[in-house]
Amino acid sequence: MLSVTGVSKLFPGVKALSGVDFTARAGEVHALVGENGAGKSTLIKVLTGVYQPDAGEIVHDGTPVRFTTPLQAQQAGISTIYQEVNLVPLMSVARNLLLGREPRNRLGLIDFRRMNRQAQEALHGLGIRVDVSRPLRELGVGAQQMVALARAVAIDARVVIMDEPTSSLEPREVRTLFDVIGMLRERGIAVVYVSHRMDELYEICDAVTVLRDGRVVHTGRLADLERLRLVSLMLGREIGEVRSEGLTKFSGSHRAAAEPVLQAEGLTIRHQLRDVSLTIRPGEVVGLGGLLGSGRSETAKAIAGALPTDAGRVSVGGVPVRAGSTPAAIRAGISLLPEDRKAEGISPGLSVRENIALAALPRLSRFGLVDNARVDRIVDTFVKRLRIKSAGPHQKVGELSGGNQQKVLLARWLALHPKVLLLDEPTRGIDVGAKAEVQALIDELADDGLAVLLISSDTEELIEGSDRIVVLKDGAVVDELTGDAVTEDALMRAIATEPSTSSTSSTSSTPSASPQSAESVGSTHD
């Protein structure tokens, strides 16, 4: 139905896709999996006309095509259901469903009765019953996604691409979605399904393609692929592979104190985290393991007060920290290096100097006046210690390389002398040399008695850097690896575990909780 051959896509400095072959067949649900940066989203964007490939060709329905806009791809019958629903929330369900194709009467005016009937029928066809004259936003996220799906089907989509459709759905909504996907399959529509939830993949997908570092590492029938094998393909590590020491700059274990400095208990955020607890002792590096979307970043953000929690407590040195407040967490000594460095970390338009001093400003000031001498001293210290390379302290941080940006951020937090440092993907997207330096620094900081939480998609980094690994899956702690058990095999096994009898659906049914909590979650996304 839709296939690409030898597709490559270059970005400045990065080869996002190289020689990728991929085929979506009619009546087949094809899983597309891979860790962060594997090239999944780039491939989807190539398929839907957002990006043009630098090499290779796209064949749709037997003819080579070239989409220059998403609209062209859509008109050719390729529809995408995004993670966040891409519809107009204030318009009614029917108007969303039929925008641009409204039935009109002889005067050229829209015939609402026919429109509502058509919309009703289209949704019934998928087994969904909603009042189509109600505004879309009054529906649950799941129902909204169904409307997006119905719209895709209604415009004669031959290929439907779903990008993590279940990430914010209730278990019951997931069931409906799966029914609809089954229906699409029967109608001979090709479905491309992107998800990190192992259980879901095995439930509804027929075929699988695994991407890693912009290349296809495996493609074939999903049923023929063991779970453990799939995980190892995604992470790029072989089971039982002899670990070569010294690839990373980590020295090994640290001497940790006995009493934990950070205690997080029962952190819960609707749809995202369920009862996550962890402790970190001074001088200890605790890794957070798990696949993308398992709740690692959310855990870090919840601890740092950057995400409001529905339940749970965080305390530092036995003193409780007010939840949902970044300033309170920072005062308590918790610092977070966020995952999205460009959007949430650096202030790109400000200088290196100002970025480093930003969080510590109140401490570097007297009577509201910034003490420039002290700022200079601190900046100087950290630029030297972290070997930040820039044209000078007055260069804009946005102009620095990724590695140096990350060091600037680290300096910003270290200037506060934190007790707990939460590092979310500290070495992603930075070059090899800087990566080694950052890794060495993490070691050094732990030796200095800092409590470190390390999140990394780089399994090697996680295993070698951490003294202990807490494994998350679907927003809950599923395992904890300590001592000699901190190995890649154990990590992969923990991630790939089949759901026990009390599966995801039953545990996650706790949040039939108050609707307020859903809204508070919703608002943080803006």
Alpha-carbon span 186 to 37, nearest angstrom: 33
Residues 193-252 that bind other proteins (CB under 8 A): none
Q: Which stretch binds other proteins (CB under 8 A): 35-43, 171-179, 181-189, 221-229?
A: 171-179
Q: Which stretch binds other proteins (CB under 8 A): 127-135, 156-164, 197-205, 469-477?
A: 127-135
Q: How far is the CB of 96 from other proteins (least distance, A)?
A: 8
305, 267 contact by CB (below 8 A): no
Neighbours of 385 (CB within 10 A): 14
Length reported for the chain: 526
Residues 302-321 that bind other proteins (CB under 8 A): 304, 306
C-beta closer to other proteins: residue 34 or 142: 142
- Please list the residues that pair with 65 across neighbouring strands: 58
484, 478 contact by CB (below 8 A): no
Alpha-carbon span 431 to 243, nearest angstrom: 22
Binding of other proteins by 129 (CB under 8 A): yes
C-beta closer to other proteins: residue 108 or 246: 108
Residue partners of 478: CB distance under 8 A and separation at least 6: 471, 472, 494, 497
Binding of other proteins by 361 (CB under 8 A): yes
* Closest by CA position to 19, among listed 213, 164, 197, 215: 215
Alpha-carbon span 295 to 413, nearest angstrom: 23
> What is the strand order of the sheet 55-60 is part of?
14-24, 2-11, 55-60, 63-65
Binding of other proteins by 422 (CB under 8 A): no
Supply angle C-alpha 93, 97, 100, rounded to 5: 125
Q: How far is the CB of 340 from other proteins (least distance, A)?
A: 8
Binding of other proteins by 327 (CB under 8 A): yes
Q: DSSP characters for 183-198?
A: HHHHTT-EEEEE---H
279, 260 contact by CB (below 8 A): yes
Q: Which stretch binds other proteins (CB under 8 A): 60-68, 159-167, 201-209, 336-344?
A: 336-344
Identified binder of other proteins from the candidate list 151, 158, 212, 473, rule CB under 8 A? 151
Q: How far is the CB of 316 from other proteins (least distance, A)?
A: 14
Q: How far is the CB of 309 from other proteins (least distance, A)?
A: 16
Two structure tokens written together for 125: 């066809």
At 418 the three-state DSSP class reads coil
Residues 58-87 that bind other proteins (CB under 8 A): 70-71, 74-75, 84, 86-87
Instruction: Give, as one character, the DSSP assignment of residue 127.
Output: T
Q: How far is the CB of 416 from other proteins (least distance, A)?
A: 9
C-beta closer to other proteins: residue 88 or 247: 88
Q: Which stretch binds other proteins (CB under 8 A): 1-9, 10-18, 202-210, 448-456?
A: 10-18
C-beta closer to other proteins: residue 255 or 417: 417
Q: Which stretch binds other proteins (CB under 8 A): 17-25, 107-115, 194-202, 215-223?
A: 107-115
Q: How far is the CB of 346 from other proteins (least distance, A)?
A: 6
Burial of 514 (0-12, 13-18, 19+ CB in 10 A): exposed
C-beta closer to other proteins: residue 52 or 500: 52
Two structure tokens written together for 426: 């500290």
Binding of other proteins by 163 (CB under 8 A): no
Backbone dihedral region for residue 378 (phi beyond 0: left; psi -120 to 50: alpha; all else: beta): alpha
Binding of other proteins by 109 (CB under 8 A): yes
Identified binder of other proteins from the candidate list 2, 162, 494, 521, rule CB under 8 A? 521
C-beta closer to other proteins: residue 237 or 270: 270
Residues 477-516 that bind other proteins (CB under 8 A): 515
C-beta closer to other proteins: residue 135 or 499: 135
